Amino acid sequence: MIGVGDSESLGEVGVFLDEEFRSGYGPARGTVHRPRGLFDEEANTLTYPSDSRSAVHACAFALPTGISVAMFTGAMTALVTPFRDGHVDDAALEKLVESQIVAGIDALVPCGTTGEAPTLEPEEHAHVVARVVTTARKRVPVIAGCGSNSTAHTIALARGAEKAGANGLLVVTPYYNKPTQEGLFRHYMTLAQAVPLPIVVYNIPGRAAVDMSVDTLARLATAEPLIVAVKEATGQVARAQEIARRLGDRMVVLSGEDPLNLAIYAVGGRGCISVTSNVMPRQVAGTWDAFAAGDFVKARALHGETLPVTEALFFETNPIPVKAAMAMMGAMGEEIRAPLYPISEEPRVRLRTVLVKQGLLPC
């Protein structure tokens, strides 16, 4: 087991970031987030010292599988996928992973929407997951995005992620073909029976054109112990509240909408899967940490810092603006895959203005 965020286990990563990119992480740049627990990859569990405030918050219940709730607790980043000359930019990806861990992010989520998964070839998908796993070096869990609108293809992606060393799966509801609630139920059940990794259901009707009901989530939580969490991205705090009220003793609720992170924590959410944390990981992680510690004033202040940037990151379709922001900050090139294209000039100017105002770029 390796201490999550422990300076000894991180080695020299504090000097890995170039100054331009590091400057985007605020006054605490280059510092190491203090350890919250010990992650045992083989057992897929994260344990805490008995006096840890996270132990109290994360261990309020145990998942039916015996998998630690803590593995699905906290601020997690939906990683962008850097490209260079049409290929995955491994160096930039490794740099991004290191910087996220240094800043205190609790888990990494490659190959989701933000990671341009629909345009990744299966071999690239497995490569990205493997590179993130290798670079993370068991310091934080890796939850791989594996969703598609084909059950067979989803299983193939999940098996590739399992082979690459992922600790869990993020699986979006099948998009475009609009399965019924029964179809959604069978899709996730079939996946869980095929690949023995814990699953986070990703419900985002705005993109998928299908909305998994709370009743269907309840059926899944009852029928399949590997279905352990939901990334709630309907944009409705009341929906997150209802899931937490009905299923909070057996399913983790994660915010999938950055503007609503703090509100969802307040109604029972146990963390987030964030786009904003690509560029503001310290603030996004700090918001969760402060909330979990009961420091609501600090949580509100840190969350407030992120809001102008979050708004700017959706001036155009995600991940177009976040790719542009990361390029401005020196983290990677802006290359993005068609049918998405680099950000237009007017929103680019507005994005840069916000980043400068928030101290993420020099004036």
In angstroms, rounded to a whole number, what is the distance separating the alpha carbons of residues 53 and 262?
18
**Residues whose CB is less than 8 angstroms from the CB of residue 186 and which lie 6 or more positions away in sequence, other chains included:** 151
Strand order in the sheet with 107-109: 107-109, 74-78, 271-274, 252-255, 227-232, 199-203, 168-172, 143-145
Annotated active-site residue in 48, 95, 188, 231: 231
Neighbours of 349 (CB within 10 A): 11
| Separation in Å, CA 92 to CA 88, 180, 237, 352 | 9, 40, 35, 21
Residue 294 is classified by DSSP as T
> Strand 2-3 and strand 143-145: pairing?
unpaired
Question: Dmax over Cα atoms in the chain, in whole Å?
Answer: 55
> Strand 107-109 and strand 143-145: pairing?
unpaired
Length of the chain: 363
Q: Helices (H) and strands (E) in the chain — how many of each?
A: 15, 13
SS3 label, residue 50? coil
Q: Is 341 in the active site?
A: no
| Separation in Å, CA 108 to CA 24, 94, 277 | 19, 12, 10
Annotated active-site residue in 25, 48, 188, 202: 202
Q: Is 202 in the active site?
A: yes
| Separation in Å, CA 79 to CA 60, 105, 119, 144, 299 | 28, 11, 15, 10, 23
Say if residues 54 and 36 touch (Cβ distance below 8 Å): yes
Say if residues 203 and 234 touch (Cβ distance below 8 Å): yes
Say if residues 239 and 214 touch (Cβ distance below 8 Å): yes
Report CA Rg, the chain. 19
- Annotated catalytic residues are 202, 231
